[in-house]
Amino acid sequence: MFRVNLAQAGSMFRIQTRRVKRAGLKEESVSVKAMIMGVSAIGVALTLCMLTMTKEVAAQSAEPYSPITIVSGSIDGSNKRFVSDIESVVRTKSGMAMAPIFGLGSAQDVMNLIYTRQVEVGMIHADVLNAAKRQRKLYPDVEKYIRLISWISHDEIHIIAGRGIRDVSQLANKVVNFGPGTERIVSTPYMLFEALNIPVHRVALSQADAFKRIKSGEIAATVIAAAKPHATVARLSAEDGLHILPIKMTDRLGSSYVANQIRHADYPGLVEKGQTIDTVTVASVLITSNWPKNHRRYRKLAAFAKTLFANAKTLKDKKYHPKWRDANFAKDLEGWTRFAPAEALLAGNGPVRQASEADRRQFEEFLALSGQGEGLDASTVDQMFSQFLTWRKQQAQ
């Protein structure tokens, strides 16, 4: 079985390369671009193997569709927790199976959605998705091929540094880890340092390896873009000579990032009681390919979106990631078209759509004018807004 799957993977990789050529890339750059954009042959083989194993189970069950493949960045990120939560709720509520794949970051995940037929849903960072529009040769007409399903969370950017580094500007021309698989691709760490205009020498290590090398002085810092509290960061201690660097929100960072804070409750081992550390967040969004309306996968993904949206309240339960309590599925991502069935679901709930736009602006203006919003981080404001909407709905009944 495994040899057959490897053969299938190799065939898929060759198909990917041909598609890249059709997209207008130069002949000599195809091998590099194809390597960057696709899942590896072994990774695809493992995915195909997983789908083969679930085929019999799916055939015996009442579910009408094959498992949904969802790719969610590197295994070091927090998205695997969100994907696990989604898989649990969707399977329990609808019987639809899911096959998670952990890739090598958002840039590659976008390519997987465009050029492979095995990946159906991706959970990626919005700054990288927006950057794809500017890379026309690598991502030709990307906005035509990608559709937004929903906004999931604000992921905090953690820069973990060693002794002697107290400010992000001190990382200039030093070695900084961007995470596995990021050697040649655009990633959130890459986008952040580019926006801050701080040149660094990037390496692509696992976070466990990066922490060891920070302690030994081989590298200066590592970057983790993940929703707090992130398990890997939570295991760290200031006694090991590690700390979180503050990131100040500036105009240079633009609209891709939002100011937030990290507190003692998030990481007791790294943040002292009463201390807050400024940072920024990047949006994590759920996307899919622009499938034709008469395609089976279009109908399958429509059923997936319906189940996900219908169980938004379920995901706010304490057993799931705390960031689900701040999730706003109706929030738009400027410049991107929403998956039509998801748009229809939101259009059928007028108050939800309205609340994500005009009401949110009025709420934030009220907080600013009343002074009640001073010192509140983005997560707290999101939670207060959600509570306000619940109260307003109850008053209308």
Tell me: the pLDDT tens digits for 309-365? Answer: 999 889 989 899 988 888 888 888 888 999 999 999 988 754 445 455 556 666 776
* Residues 163 and 277 occupy one common structural domain: yes
* Residues 369 and 345 occupy one common structural domain: no
pLDDT reading at 293 higher than 70 = yes
Place of tokens 């390496």: 203
* Residues 15 and 146 occupy one common structural domain: yes
91-146 per-position pLDDT tens digit: 999 888 888 887 666 677 777 777 777 789 988 888 888 888 877 777 778 888 88
End-of-domain residue from the set 262, 282, 302 = 282
- pLDDT band at residue 74 under the 50/70/90 scheme: low
* Amino acid residing at 142: V
Mean local confidence (pLDDT), 189-194 = 91
* Residues 22 and 69 occupy one common structural domain: yes
* Residues 148 and 165 occupy one common structural domain: no
pLDDT reading at 17 higher than 60 = no
193-249 per-position pLDDT tens digit: 999 999 999 998 989 999 999 999 999 999 999 889 898 899 999 998 999 999 999
Q: Among 24, 12, 92, 97, which residue's Cα sits nearest to residue 56? A: 97
Count Cβ atoms below 10 Å from residue 249 Cβ, excluding itself. Answer: 14
pLDDT reading at 266 higher than 90 = yes
Q: Give the rounded distance of the alpha carbon of 106 from its chain centre.
A: 7
User: Looking at residue 185, which CATH number applies to its domain?
Assistant: 3.40.190.10
Global pTM? 0.70
Nearest-angstrom CA–CA distance, 107 and 195: 17
* Residues 37 and 101 occupy one common structural domain: yes
Beta strands 146-161 and 243-244 are: antiparallel
End-of-domain residue from the set 250, 282, 314 = 282
- The pLDDT value recorded for residue 209 is 94
Nearest-angstrom CA–CA distance, 177 and 179: 6
pLDDT reading at 300 higher than 60 = yes
* Residues 229 and 142 occupy one common structural domain: no
- The pLDDT value recorded for residue 162 is 92
* Residues 166 and 312 occupy one common structural domain: no
The percent of residues in the chain predicted with pLDDT above 70, rounded, is 70
Place of tokens 């598609």: 19
- The pLDDT value recorded for residue 12 is 40
* Residues 8 and 145 occupy one common structural domain: yes
Q: Is the bond into 229 cis (omega within 30 degrees of 0)?
A: yes
Helix (H, G, I), strand (E, B) or coil at 284: strand
Mean local confidence (pLDDT), 60-68 = 61
Q: Is the bond into 189 cis (omega within 30 degrees of 0)?
A: no
Beta strands of the chain (E only): which ranges? Answer: 68-71, 98-101, 121-125, 146-161, 175-177, 201-203, 221-226, 243-244, 257-263, 276-289
Count Cβ atoms below 10 Å from residue 7 Cβ, excluding itself. Answer: 13
* Residues 303 and 390 occupy one common structural domain: no
* Residues 10 and 142 occupy one common structural domain: yes
End-of-domain residue from the set 282, 302, 336 = 282
Number of domains composing the chain: 3
* Residues 117 and 41 occupy one common structural domain: yes
Mean local confidence (pLDDT), 65-91 = 81
Beta strands 68-71 and 121-125 are: parallel
Domain of 387 in residue numbering reads as: 357-396
